[in-house]
Structure 1
């Protein structure tokens, strides 16, 4: 059996296409399904099943559209009870295809109540299990995404589900959907596939002695939950429509002045281009693998968007990332700001930033996650996690009469924060090319004035 795995790094997820004698099974496809269907067509594969392991919290599923386009059988966990026709997957009720290929549903609740893994058998032999958000590589799917009221119950269910999967033969290939980089997982090991035997030997969560200990470990340090997650499950219950067009109209800078207030202007240019001149009120999110993640976390869900891009930037990639999480209304793109009113923010390297930070009365704003701050703190810095900066506003400790030095791990989140701070009347300076860890180390050197 051949396995093709498609990584979506910005969301930390994988879609798997399993092929046996020209028959294919596609598991947990994201909404942009063309890449999966083209790979199947190139190999002359007939898709027999398209399956989702659960109602995804972090992206819109493309399963229903992939099944409709190919004539494959759409399979969802029986407990999902979606608002559209599908084949319900019941625990241990085999779904048989040609060539001795069998899909065996295994009820593995915990990440979500309906979560179902799929054991793939060829000629009666188990060869792989698509574990979705249950057993992951060196980790497990989070049980707290549906709210704190259900987290304890789901964690205890997840413990049993992990051990159900751990009881499979050791040589069975483990193909999770969530992996390192996904906020649906408790951790990661830098690998995205494994085997049951490798996980039994090395996954620290399988070594815990009881469901209570597992629950305590999983819920001890709650991770942040992106704002758009709460919209994905209900949308997948209803069924996601096809992808919107990837080409968007070209707009002029003058068009920005007449936009309705609900339209969000998102500047996707590199940070140095933004620093040289950005549109006041816009949110600066550099185009990268996690562009969609930050847009979904920081902007009103589903809001209409106008992009600002450099000529030649991959606008289609930005539109794709937005569409994966339900932002379908990209009204257009501006690639020339000539003649428009623009503002600036400053960018500093590590040593200049450190020198500025040592000035009397310096204001340093740390916008990293709580976990990052616990690992490496920056003495004297004011901390506000980036999404909280947008939702709760600028900390009262910051003085708008003085510049604000903004730091994260690399400058990416600080750039976003700079546009938010400017909107609130502050003058930001972004640490770029380095982060709080390097800044803290530099500040601790002899003669630095800080220890």
Structure 2
């Protein structure tokens, strides 16, 4: 994209994380990269396409939703790392305080302290001469909202929300034509609203961002906190890893999987390893290794892997031959899942050829689902469930299922989400906990409604958010 002052910025969007990193063309064949993830494949591809060499890398904050690629770029490219001095990072970098400037060779980068999403958060204002061209706002001002202030725990949430109020007002005082380049966008669990727009301008945000219309601090705090949903458990540990600096990786080998014979995989399973089946839902359901975790390979694969699998367990992958190991390993490394020890050589065919046991899960299309005939468990986020669900459907977010599976008395259960992938993950967790007679629903609540001209339950009329257990004692415990 080109800003009004012809400063060239190239967005590199990670649909799975819901984030954008940016390449700022410095005009001399060099580039500044802002908020790159550890998986740098897309960043390098875009830099090569633009003929740019990465000379600087800047992090707006200590990211909780992914591991930063800054240390890797410093190692591989000799890039200078720019970050807030208040972050107390434990690796070589240039620590910036509020108002500090960096000469980028014609362009000027100014650090603006904008705490709220995190304590040490900074935004980076890019100026071409005297004119501000744009600002990298990270997790401060984002399109249509502001990033969540609750990642440092409940004792800090109110203070950070009030800091976010002040930071957004500071950014809103920039000239209306100033481009806004946020890191968090639609799909991020850092409270970005849905929508296709990833970038904006100060003027557009002043006109459309509901949080910028709130002039009173308390009203802002209530609106911001009222919009928050759940977030993955790994958010609680990645910030400190980013402070210490993620380990430098051998990029030639990091995206590969070691082939393991079926006998070794069987032994690892017995020793507590997590078998992660990344094949499409229908293939997993038709036949899979008992106790394996279904997490279909897609943009959101790594988020759910990190949410429901322990980072302390070895992981063995089960995949199809046409699924690229790099597309499995690199996203996992992005969120700090380091213990992928290999893959089942030969896939599921090798497992069955060895005579080992397999399991299957029934698949229902949404239009086949009769909620009066069996328990329906909806595992979408609360906001999705409240927006519309089947009558009588129980609710338990997929991210909380591992800790609450004991609330569900085993019973014939159809598990559903928006399409089927999260439902399959939930069904695999239930199977591992001893549940049988499970079905994965392919399709979502709206598909069910459209197929039969039926009404969904929505909003304030929604069913209680419980696990939908038929056992009254369990229902009471869930409340």
Classify the TM-score, shorter chain.
over 0.9
* Structure 1 residues not aligned, in runs of 5+: none
**SS of residue paired to 1:347:** strand
Q: What is residue 169 of structure 1 aligned with on the other side?
A: 175
State the SS of the aligned residue for 2:407: coil
Q: Does 1:88 align with 2:95?
A: yes
2:299 pairs with one of 278, 281, 289? 289
2:165 equivalent to 1:149 = no
2:345 corresponds to 1:345: no
Name which of 414, 421, 431 aligns with 1:422: 431
Aligned partner of residue 37 in structure 2, secondary structure = coil
Deviations 1:98-122 (A, max 9, x none): 2x21110000000001000000112
The CA deviation string for residues 181-223 of structure 1, in whole angstroms up to 9 with x for no partner, is 0001242432101111111111111001211111001112531
> Paired residue for 1:411, among 408, 416, 420?
420
Within a 5 Å distance, the mapping from 1:337-416 to structure 2 comes to 337-338=351-352, 339-354=355-370, 357-359=371-373, 362-396=374-408, 398=409, 400=410, 402-416=411-425
Q: Does 1:124 align with 2:140?
A: no
Tell me, in whole angstroms, the C-alpha distance in 2 between the residues paired with 1:271 and 1:188: 25
Residue among 46, 57, 60 paired with 1:53? 60
Q: Extract structure 1 runs of 4+ deviating beyond 6 A.
A: none
Runs of 5+ in structure 2 lacking a partner? 1-6, 456-461, 463-479
Asked if residue 6 in structure 1 is aligned to residue 15 in structure 2, the reply is no
**Higher mean C-alpha deviation, range 174-183 or range 257-266:** 257-266
Alpha-carbon separation, structure 2, partners of 1:405 and 1:188: 28
- Counting only pairs closer than 5 Å after superposition, residues 65-80 of structure 1 correspond to structure 2 as 65-80=72-87
Change beyond 3 A, Cα 1:42–1:351: closer
Q: Deviations over 1:132-160 (max 9, x none)?
A: 00000111111111111111110111011
Residue 331 of structure 1 is matched in structure 2 by 341
Match of residue 474 from structure 2: none
Length-normalised TM-score, structure 1: 0.93
Q: Which residue of 1 aligns with 2:262?
A: 253
Q: TM-score, normalised by structure 2?
A: 0.87
1:97 equivalent to 2:104? Answer yes
Q: 1:435 and 2:449 equivalent? A: no
Instruction: Please state if 1:278 is matched with 2:284.
Output: no
- Cα RMSD (Å) of the superposition? 1.9
Q: How many residues align?
A: 438
Q: CA deviation at 1:40?
A: 2.8
2:25 aligned counterpart, secondary structure: strand
- Quick one: structure 1 residues 34 and 413, their matched pair in 2 at CA, closer, same or farther if it must change by over 3 Å? closer
Alignment partners' CA distance in 1, 2:447 and 2:58: 45
Q: 1:198 aligns with which of 204, 218, 222?
A: 204
